[in-house]
Chain A
């Protein structure tokens, strides 16, 4: 069947192979600035699939799929490979290291956690002063990260050194409809992009950027967008769902997004005002095909779109995220169904894209 006769295709689905890929991606350690493990998975998964693939100077993986027709829109999809974590800074005593955090980690998430250090994934722990040494619970305050240590024990400590990165040791698991892991932000985006490169809509030129250093300043996306020079861009990420009950039973009005309500379309965040034409097109696609979606509450946070839309002479950009609870902690939670709907919405949004869209008024 030639591409020109292809009717609307079914979007790629989330099956056991996709879950297994996500599991590998989440269990990999790739703290901002050292994305090797995730990059290796991406390169392997896309070997022989992409029409063109390269690793740039910062470590981004740029993979292209050509369109079936000339004159097609050049669409950049960006998903960051890096995760928040820590760096060992100084050995204080045998196997005990001072450390700093990399990316936005709430220091209240650190005490009492197991971590993995360096490329050999050396296990370590972040312990605390035993509760027995406090005279009253009233003494307890948030422990500043300066007072915490990563402890690898004296023997394994010899194999670690300052400069190595660390992250939470949590392993991926599934619970009913949920996916639970560290770094679902943004291995969900990486896995989504891998699926789209494997089965791209053929009407657009797909420029996939698996970016580095998003969590420390959108650096990978900035140079990737320059190199790819697309007509438009979509950042694919994971955004917080703060959809828990309020402490006093009042209505939760600042949920950001909600699990189970579908992909989150960004209107505005701290770094980007999404292109209204792209917002409308995403919503129209969801409405036409009965794919659930939600609008992310406008406010803080940011994605690679913050760097991409300001590149060169300006690139119309939007972000679409899989909602996830407890980002940047040892264990975040997302719904498999939201992921599948995100993949479907992105696929069909691309499939329905034509150059006319960018000629319309904002």
Chain B
């Protein structure tokens, strides 16, 4: 697969909200099949790809995880053919009015999230006031009878915004959190085709990160790796976001997490390698937790040395998230080169006594 951007745009056009990841998993599986030796689906839907290493058995294992689920909405009630919705988790209701969506009913039903006129809303909202999602509707344009045949309470609702090429390098769309990292992981697997490595590499596209980290807990338990890498998007600098240590410029490098979810020795090895490869990076400080799959993987079984890699992304958790392809390519390259350097002594030489 020569064009990682085309693959990413395919992923962005697919549904796959938390708990309903089947459509996106099938497409990732198709892309990974030629790149791995084994492919499995976990009992709760995460995709596991194994690329076998060349070392002696029992071989050590590294787990690279990118969650494939996307934020979305769920139908909670149907009133005269109009759908009431709730969001699955962290979403700003203010991005919803006028937003095109797809309702995943007996067939995919396109619709639009709509803001009722003031007379139809609680008077407390006032003219021009913020309207919470419980007072918004999805309008499918279909007659009420057809809606009740096609759609049921509990059906997932995904964003329908098509990906936007803002230039060769900059891409906008929904679900870049975290399909951007799935693309980076795929680029890594491609690069590994040309590299010799002794460790087994487990690539995982996890489910339910946005909800429960259920995919991360269970896949890490099942694979029981010696090292784990969580790849996720992080906050890009840009309009609306704080212009401080919490945000990172697009196109200027990936981030390496530093904080309690991250093994300091593993951080150090990645940092040294990035410098050796002259790959630009930022240090992302995560004092309490990373808000990623790393939180789950770190505490599996006896505990796993874990690191978090971040791809800067503007407007996180909106349908117009924005990334630079350069950062995605860099993340894939760094992981592949790191894996190629893993030897039998890596873990026992990994030190906790490391400074930033």
Q: Which residues of A contact B (CB under 8 A)?
A: 92, 95-96, 106-109, 111-114, 123-133, 140-143, 147-149, 151-156, 168-170, 173, 175-180, 240, 242, 244-248, 252-254, 256, 325-326, 329-331, 333
Checking A114, A128, A253, A331 against B240 with a beta-carbon cut-off of 8 angstroms, the contacting residue is: A128
- Report which of B120, B162, B170, B291 forms a contact with A244, defined as CB distance below 8 A: B120
Instruction: Verify B164–A175 contact, CB threshold 8 A.
Output: no
Assess the B235–A130 pair: CB atoms within 8 A: yes
Q: Which of B285-338 contact A (CB under 8 A)?
A: 291, 314-320, 322
- A153-B167, A253-B119 given; name 17 further pairs at CB < 8 Å: A112-B95, A112-B318, A127-B322, A128-B95, A128-B240, A131-B90, A131-B91, A133-B242, A140-B130, A153-B166, A156-B170, A169-B164, A173-B110, A175-B140, A245-B79, A245-B82, A333-B141
A254 contacts B119, C-beta separation under 8 Å? yes
Q: Is the CB of B131 within 8 A of A108?
A: yes
Q: How far is the CB of B40 from chain A (nearest CB, A)?
A: 33
Asked if B54 lies at the interface with its beta carbon under 8 angstroms from chain A, I say no
Please tell me if the beta carbons of B170 and A127 are within 8 angstroms of each other in the complex: no
The reply to whether A155 and B115 form a contact with Cβ atoms under 8 Å apart is no
A126 touches B320 (CB 8 A): yes
B114 contacts A106, C-beta separation under 8 Å: no
Q: Kindly list the 9 A-B residue pairs having the minimum CB-CB distance in the complex, ordered from nearest.
A: A112-B95, A178-B141, A127-B315, A153-B166, A155-B167, A129-B240, A125-B320, A175-B141, A153-B170
Does the CB pair A142–B141 fall under 8 Å?
A: no
Taken together as a complex, chains A and B put the C-alpha atoms of A176 and B110 apart, in Å, by 11
Chain B residues lying within 8 Å of A123, measured Cβ to Cβ, are 164-166, 172
Please list the residues of chain B having a beta carbon within 8 angstroms of any beta carbon in chain A: 79-80, 82, 90-100, 109-112, 114-117, 119-122, 128-131, 135, 137, 139-143, 146, 161-162, 164-170, 172, 235, 238-242, 246, 251, 291, 314-320, 322
CB distance from B254 to the nearest CB of A (A): 18
B98 touches A177 (CB 8 A): no
- Is the contact region of chain A dominated by helix, strand, or loop, or is it mixed? loop
Residues on the A chain within 8 Å of B98, using CB? 109, 113, 168, 326, 329-331
Which of B91, B169, B170, B320 counts the most chain A CB atoms within 10 A?
A: B320
**Closest A residue by C-beta to B91:** A131
A347 to B290, CA, bound (A): 65
Give the distance in Å from the alpha carbon of A114 to the alpha carbon of B143 in the complex. Answer: 28
Is B317 a contact partner of A247 (Cβ separation < 8 A)?
no
22 contacts between A and B (CB under 8 A): A112-B95, A113-B99, A125-B164, A125-B320, A126-B320, A127-B314, A127-B315, A133-B235, A140-B93, A142-B130, A153-B166, A153-B167, A154-B167, A156-B170, A176-B146, A244-B114, A246-B119, A247-B116, A325-B139, A330-B100, A331-B100, A331-B112
- Are B238 and A112 in contact (CB-based, < 8 A)? no
Contact among A108, A114, A242 with B94 in the assembled complex (CB-CB below 8 Å): A108
Residue of B nearest to A134 (CB): B92
In the bound complex, residues from chain B placing their C-beta under 8 Å from that of A178 are 141-142
A325 touches B119 (CB 8 A): no
CB <8 Å contact, B166 and A156: yes
Most buried by B among A123, A152, A153: A153
Q: Are A155 and B170 closer than 8 Å at their CB atoms?
A: yes
Q: How far is the CA of A316 from the CA of B333 in the complex (A)?
A: 73
Q: Which of chain B's residues have a CB closer than 8 A to the CB of A330?
A: 98-100, 112
Tell me which residues across on chain B come within 8 A of A106, comparing CB atoms. 97, 115, 128
* Known contacts A143-B94, A177-B143; A245/B115 CB under 8 A: no
Chain B residues, CB < 8 A from A129 = 240-241
Residue in chain A with minimal CB distance to B93: A140
Select from chain A the residue with minimum beta-carbon distance to B122: A247
Known: A114-B320, A325-B139. A142 touches B128 (CB 8 A): yes
User: Which residues of B lie under 8 Å from residue A252 when comparing CB positions?
Assistant: 119-120
Q: A127 contacts which chain B residues (CB < 8 A)? A: 238-240, 314-315, 318, 320, 322
Minimal beta-carbon separation of A267 from chain B (angstroms): 19
**Docked pose: A152 CA to B251 CA in angstroms:** 15
- From the candidates A111, A133, A170, name the one contacting B241 in the complex (CB within 8 A): A133
Is A153 within 8 A of B322, CB to CB? yes
Q: A125-B315, A242-B117, A242-B120 are in contact. Are A155 and B322 (CB under 8 A)?
A: no
Least distance between B160 CB and chain A CB atoms (Å): 10
